Amino acid sequence: MQKVPMTKKGSERLQEELKNLKNVERPAVIAAISEARGHGDLSENAEYHAAREKQSFIEGRIQELEYAVSCAEVIDTATLSGDNIVFGATVVLMDEDTEAEQTYQIVGQYEADLEHGLISIQSPLARALIGKSIGDSVDVHSPKGTKSYEILNVEYV
């Protein structure tokens, strides 16, 4: 099994989600299935089918999280330092076209969440940033075209 880098915060977040799924969500959906069974014919029981579908999703997510946690190489980003960008870095970028600033943290694939500024180490942007430092410019190639960014700040939190 290949180890996958993961931040300490990301690992804690995934373990908390796993705990919630196992201790709260799974028992609740099992109770819902049991209750729906009591409502008669299962072939026409929408509550039963909805609960079974939710159970399937929960069990799949539990398996995914267990795998992610088992193959994680947890890295405490607070112990990292330096000017060069590596896994775990929080990077402030300026779009060279619009001059808009954006902040991202480079994290593992299982904890990436673009809405919260967490980008996967495997993303084109993260790959372009690794090894660079403050003041460098990077070009990121994506299906939407090439974007250029200037690195304004790098920190490890």
pTM above 0.85, yes or no: no
The neighbour count for residue 30, using CB atoms within 10 Å, is: 13
pLDDT tens track for 100-137: 999 999 999 999 999 999 999 999 999 999 999 999 99
pLDDT tens track for 72-85: 999 998 888 888 99
Domains of the chain, first to last? 4-75 (1.10.287.180), 77-155 (3.10.50.30)
pLDDT tens track for 2-58: 899 999 999 999 999 999 999 999 999 999 999 988 877 777 788 899 999 999 999
8-state DSSP, 123: S
CA dihedral 57, 62, 65, 69 (to 10 degrees): -170
Helix axis angle, 26-37 to 46-70, nearest 10°: 160
Distance CA 68, CA 11 (A): 9
